[in-house]
Amino acid sequence: MRHVITYGTFDLLHYGHIELLKRAKALGDYLIVALSADEFNALKGKKAYFSYEDRKRMLEAIRYVDMVIPENNWEQKPHDIDRYDVDVFVMGDDWTGKFDEILGDKCEIVYLARTPEISTTQIKTDLTGKTNSGK
């Protein structure tokens, strides 16, 4: 069984998120989503509209997602890969190259193109005229 993992906040869930999850799942048999905890988002200077628990419930309802775990810090990625026997690490292409050095000897790394016409930041901007760092 091929395990795939991806990380993110997944706030204001939209079709770009669904596409990313669908494409990530297609790279293996079992998709793990490491969902940024509210406390970790605060450390990153982000504020999600939905709580961690609400975002987790939404992700668990998506057929491509097999497991949701909390992302509590930047350093946990190598440990997650070992703990969950991960074969493929997936992130959006805006992160290209960022994880190659620390994860390259542990698993395959795939950077997927984001859906260009949609992002959480764009939704927030359109609705409020303000931005909140993050996608």
Active site residues: 44, 46
Helix (H) or strand (E) holding 69: strand 67-71
Reduce the secondary structure of 11-65 to three states and give it as a string.
Answer: CCCCHHHHHHHHHHHCCCCEEEEEEECHHHHHHCCCCCCCCHHHHHHHHHCCCCC
Q: Which residue type is seen at 121?
A: T
**Rounded-to-integer distance, Cα 26 and Cα 117, Å:** 22
